[in-house]
Amino acid sequence: MHAATDPLAPVMGLLARYRSDVHTLRAATTASTLDAVEEHLGVPLPPGLRAFLVRHNGATLFRGALRVRAAADLASPEARAPEVTLFADGPRDDDHWGVAATADGHHFGRWDGTRLHPLHESFAAWLHAQSRILDEDRRDAASQLAVRLEVDPDCGLLHLAQGERLLADGDADGAIRALRRAVALAPELAPAWQRLGETLLGSDRGEAQVAFLVALRATRLPVDYPGFPHAEPSLFRTLESLFPPGDAGWERELHQMLHERVHALRHPEGVALYEAAALALARVHLTRSDRRAARDVLVTLRDRTAGMAAVTELPELTLSLVALETALGLHDSAEDALRRLRRHADVAVRARADLALAHIALLREEPWVDEILQEALAGPLTTTDRCDALLVSAEHAVARRADGGADMRTPAALDEAVRLAALLGDDARKARASLLLGDLARARGDLPAACRHWLSCDADPEAALRATVRLGDLAADPAEALAHYARAVEGYRRVQLPIREAWARLRLVRCGDASQAEDARRIFRDAGLAAGVAAADAVVDRPEASVAWHLGRAAELARQRQEAQRMRPPLVRADAERPERRLLAHRRAIARGDGRVVDSLAEALRDELPRVEHAAGRPYDPGVMRFVAALDLLAGHPGWDAARVMMQLLVADIQNDTAARALMGALARSPNMTLVEALLAAVRSLTEPRALAAAAEALGWRREAEAAPRLRELAATGSSPVRRAAITALGRIGDEEAIDVILPALEVPELAEAASVALLLLGEWRGVDFHGQALAQDRTNLTRSPGELVGRHGGPSYLLLLLRVAEREGPAGLGAIQGLGLLGSMRAVPKLIELCGHRDPARAAAAQAALELLTGQRSDPEDPYPRQRWDLWWQTHGAHYDEGRRWRAGQPLDVRALIARLGDDDVGVRMTSFDELAISTGERLPFDADGPWRAQLAHREAWTRWYNAHGHALSARGWLFHGREVG
């Protein structure tokens, strides 16, 4: 090709000036080879690169400083960037050069591992510029850019880079000239238009606005490759400031961009732009106080991305949507979105999601606001988000103090929020803080100060309306109060804050406008807000009016909780938190009612009881769920009538297991102190064995030490169910005086296991000795094999006994094999491997199960040669296990591990681990294995704090009994 028409001629001339050993140009390749490479890559090669490879299939230039890859070595850098092809390397080892196709050609530039930094639009220009940089030893960025501009003066990418460099140097005039040249050469370069607009903004707002609009109209998604020159998300905020609030033209620009120029989202740059545009469109509606339209915009744009590649979450869009849905009372929908964000890979996103969740819980008067806020504040929040978190914390603290707390000092969170709001210069957050300061002043009785604070809330519309309600509360003239409330109702309706509107309507009811109660109740019911519905009923003196509604909602929540606790996909146990918060809010609402509420619940329980009895084996039956929900609501009521109804159910013979467990849970967890007195009276007066046993069991779960004398009497004589319940309860209560009473029960086969566990909890070892002797004597009259108890709670001294008994046929041998797994000694592994090949399938399966329990390795039940497989595994891994320690699931089983197992997904594992933990340490800290998720978290944290304080004194071997090492 003639030099005048050959784009590679200049660089080839440059390379020709050196000796042959400086540059190595490989032999030519064939067109068919290049066709095959293109098919493999899935993209066509740029013409200039292809032309070079036709002449030279790769090159090593400047003694290896720059290496152009051969055709066979061309590759995409990673699966997330298939659009990029790496074609050269050097001069540093981590320098890689890539090319990507665009709508107008190709971009060549440096690949940094995640994105391409484009520099040239042709291979020839890139190779010539890079060769000159190496030839002239240009090392600083400015000098290299100058060479590239000399070589490739008509490249818009380079003039954009020059303009940005001049801006960094403070040369605005030079930057404008460079940027104008960039947009003239490449009108599609959105970042060049954006930079030009930013540079012109101080001198010509009109021309700047035009440049910004061109940048917006040049923006298309998906971006062509990671690192493609695109507008920055700040473009939308800047343009927004140049249009009047709520401007229809600005809305039209955004709508066109989102619906006409977005076809997919493949890379983070595109996701950020899409989110910024969506939020800008939502803000257009918010400037018109149309929260519902803003919410609809975000829902539509979020749902539109469902089928787009590489988009799993849109955190900024989702958090804004959550804020809108929270304000609109769509709390369940908001929490559905937060569920995904609370598991986000970015800890900062998780913290912001926790903050949003705490705000929802605060508005709904649900529990665990402080716990959720602690999780949020532990994350890397921005100063703005931290201020918001502190304001939520302060509002929760102020509400608790105003409801009867004696401490009227300003919460530390509020002091810090005031400081941060001042630091940010944020008048809206200052207004929210002033609202809370006014609430505190009113609680102290300083009404003038309260008024001053409330009158300073104008900077935030919501805070100003809330202050209006409070000013109405202080008005001495009913007409003045009514005017304040009516103004607040209208304001809330206008800005679409229905929950606030409903609370303000209840103020109008107190002023004599009873017609407002039904509207308020409707709003609260639509939002599922238990506290609001109860308040609407109470204000018209009909607290029982919505009991059926509470019950229906609670039944559905009880079902959701069961599904989460049992981890029905896609739920996990942590998903029980939401229905538990909702249930507790309904309990609190019911607890504020009088006897009429209790009568309504009692009637519902009586109505459901026959259906419950016919739903045996159907735990999710609607009748069962309603019965469980009614029990839970009743358990939260503090009145004597509620205790009476629950005691009536105690003596009823409920056959449905789910309902019976729910009743026991309600008896065990109810805060009703009258119920405690009733249970104490029941164990003294009841004679029917089943009811008496249930009362004893409930007192044991409650750890009521006052019941111990009567329980000792019941443990000594009577029917087996009553004695078993009393013995178990005494162990849980920790009554050491009961040891002598319990010991004789070891000789009663149906009581031996319960007696042994109770004795262990009380610090008495003889229960294990008894079961060890029973195992040695091959006793068959016990209700369960003693091997499990000896293995779980005995020490390594029982290893030989278990090994010996494991040789026997029958239940004793199977129990001993199970005990070897629970014992945790790796010295049992050879025997268990031997038993894997036993001719008895039951013994072989038990041995494999024991090995799995010890090692955590899963075996294939279809494996025809389990002994050989386990033997090979043990030869490979056995040396890694210390025979002097206790093991379970391949991990050392010490006190720390038992505390960790309190978080296991299986309720049975949680319950047995708690017993092992209490017996190992002798401590009596509580743990509710089937209780609320957050209650379990709090219990586990308490055990962790105890271990941090006392763990240094405990043996690491794992075989412990009340803190002492078992030999």
> pLDDT tens for residues 152-178?
999 999 999 999 999 999 999 999 999
Q: What is the DSSP string of 261-303?
A: SB----SHHHHHHHHHHHHHHHHHHHTTT-HHHHHHHHHHHHH
pLDDT given at position 324: 98
Token duo for residue 630: 């009614």
Cβ 92 vs Cβ 70: under 8 Å = no
Least confident of 125-134, 403-412, 597-606: 403-412
How far apart are the C-alpha atoms of 99 and 48, rounded to whole Å?
11
Tracing tokens 């010890």 back to the chain, one arrives at: 854
Cβ neighbours for 416, distance < 8 A, ≥ 6 positions apart: 390
How far apart are the C-alpha atoms of 159 and 58, rounded to whole Å?
30
Which DSSP helix (H) or strand (E) runs through 116?
strand 116-120
Token duo for residue 848: 């494999």
Arithmetic mean of pLDDT, 639-643? 95
Cβ 59 vs Cβ 67: under 8 Å = yes
Would you give the DSSP letter of residue 75?
Answer: B
Tens digits of per-residue pLDDT, 914-933?
999 999 999 999 999 999 99
How far apart are the C-alpha atoms of 293 and 299, rounded to whole Å?
10
Token duo for residue 548: 């059926």
Tens digits of per-residue pLDDT, 403-431?
655 566 778 999 999 999 999 999 999 99
Task: Output b/e per residue, 406-436; b: 16+ Cβ within 10 A.
Answer: eeeebbebbebbbebbeeeebeebbbbbbbb
Tracing tokens 């509580």 back to the chain, one arrives at: 926
Q: Angle at Cα 133 formed by Cα 127 and Cα 136, nearest 5°? A: 130
pLDDT given at position 19: 61
pLDDT given at position 1: 41
Backbone angles phi, psi at 588, to 5 degrees: -65, -40
Residue 5 has pLDDT above 90, yes or no: no
Which DSSP helix (H) or strand (E) runs through 786?
helix 786-793
Backbone angles phi, psi at 116, to 5 degrees: -95, 135
CA of residue 691 relative to chain centroid, distance: 42
Residue 142 has pLDDT above 50, yes or no: yes
Backbone angles phi, psi at 264, to 5 degrees: -170, 165
Cβ 854 vs Cβ 887: under 8 Å = yes
Q: How many residues appear in the chain? A: 967
pLDDT given at position 310: 55
Tracing tokens 């299986």 back to the chain, one arrives at: 906
Cβ 88 vs Cβ 68: under 8 Å = yes
Q: Angle at Cα 966 formed by Cα 961 and Cα 967, nearest 5°? A: 170
Q: Angle at Cα 102 formed by Cα 101 and Cα 103, nearest 5°? A: 135
CA of residue 5 relative to chain centroid, distance: 62
Cβ 351 vs Cβ 378: under 8 Å = yes
- What percent of the chain shows pLDDT beyond 70? 97
pLDDT given at position 224: 92
Cβ 593 vs Cβ 530: under 8 Å = no
Would you give the DSSP letter of residue 592?
Answer: T
**C-beta neighbour count of 695 within 10 angstroms:** 31
Range picked from 208-217, 306-315, 395-404, 649-658 for highest mean pLDDT: 208-217
Q: What is the pTM of this model?
A: 0.90
Radius of gyration, alpha carbons of the chain = 37
Beta bridge partners of 395: none
User: Confidence band (pLDDT; 50, 70, 90) for 237?
Assistant: very high
Q: Is the peptide bond before 91 cis (omega within 30 degrees of 0)?
A: yes
Residue 275 has pLDDT above 90, yes or no: yes
Would you give the DSSP letter of residue 947?
Answer: H
Tracing tokens 């598991």 back to the chain, one arrives at: 343
pLDDT given at position 79: 72
Tens digits of per-residue pLDDT, 699-757?
999 999 999 999 999 999 888 999 999 999 999 999 999 999 999 999 999 999 999 99
Arithmetic mean of pLDDT, 122-151? 92
Cβ 903 vs Cβ 940: under 8 Å = yes
Which DSSP helix (H) or strand (E) runs through 85?
strand 84-89
Cβ neighbours for 582, distance < 8 A, ≥ 6 positions apart: 364, 366, 528, 530, 553, 557
Token duo for residue 72: 């066979």
Cβ neighbours for 155, distance < 8 A, ≥ 6 positions apart: 119, 120, 121, 125, 148, 149, 185
How far apart are the C-alpha atoms of 815 and 794, rounded to whole Å?
14
Which DSSP helix (H) or strand (E) runs through 703?
none
CA nearest to 338, candidates 356, 325, 326: 356
Question: For the chain, how long is the longest CA-to-CA vector?
Answer: 114
CA nearest to 671, candidates 634, 636, 641, 695: 636
Residue 621 has pLDDT above 90, yes or no: no
User: Confidence band (pLDDT; 50, 70, 90) for 945?
Assistant: very high
Residue 47 has pLDDT above 80, yes or no: yes
Tracing tokens 């890379």 back to the chain, one arrives at: 267
Backbone angles phi, psi at 624, to 5 degrees: -65, -45
- Using CA atoms, how far residue 118 sits from 160, 753, 819, in Å, is 11, 75, 67
**C-beta neighbour count of 886 within 10 angstroms:** 24
How far apart are the C-alpha atoms of 502 and 960, rounded to whole Å?
58
CA nearest to 335, candidates 384, 382, 383, 372: 372
Cβ neighbours for 320, distance < 8 A, ≥ 6 positions apart: 279, 282, 298
Q: HEC profile for 896-945?
A: HHHHHHCCCCCHHHHHHHHHHHHHHHCCCCCCCCCCCHHHHHHHHHHHHH
User: Confidence band (pLDDT; 50, 70, 90) for 3?
Assistant: very low
Cβ 346 vs Cβ 312: under 8 Å = no
Arithmetic mean of pLDDT, 847-862? 90
How far apart are the C-alpha atoms of 177 and 339, rounded to whole Å?
50
**C-beta neighbour count of 749 within 10 angstroms:** 15
- Using CA atoms, how far residue 777 sits from 274, 635, 798, 817, 852, in Å, is 75, 48, 14, 16, 28
Beta bridge partners of 75: 86
Of the chain, the end-to-end C-alpha distance in Å amounts to: 91
Residue type, 765: W
Q: Is the peptide bond before 222 cis (omega within 30 degrees of 0)?
A: yes
Classify residue 210 as exposed, middle or buried by CB count within 10 Å of its CB (0-12, 13-18, 19+): middle
List, in sequence order, the alpha helices (H) in 105-264: 123-135, 141-151, 156-169, 172-185, 190-200, 205-217, 234-242, 248-260
Token duo for residue 378: 């532990």
Task: Output b/e per residue, 108-133; b: 16+ Cβ within 10 A.
Answer: bbebeeebbebbbbbbbbbbbbbbbb
Least confident of 685-689, 775-779, 790-794, 874-878: 775-779
pLDDT given at position 2: 42
pLDDT given at position 406: 52
How far apart are the C-alpha atoms of 344 and 818, rounded to whole Å?
40
How far apart are the C-alpha atoms of 453 and 636, rounded to whole Å?
37
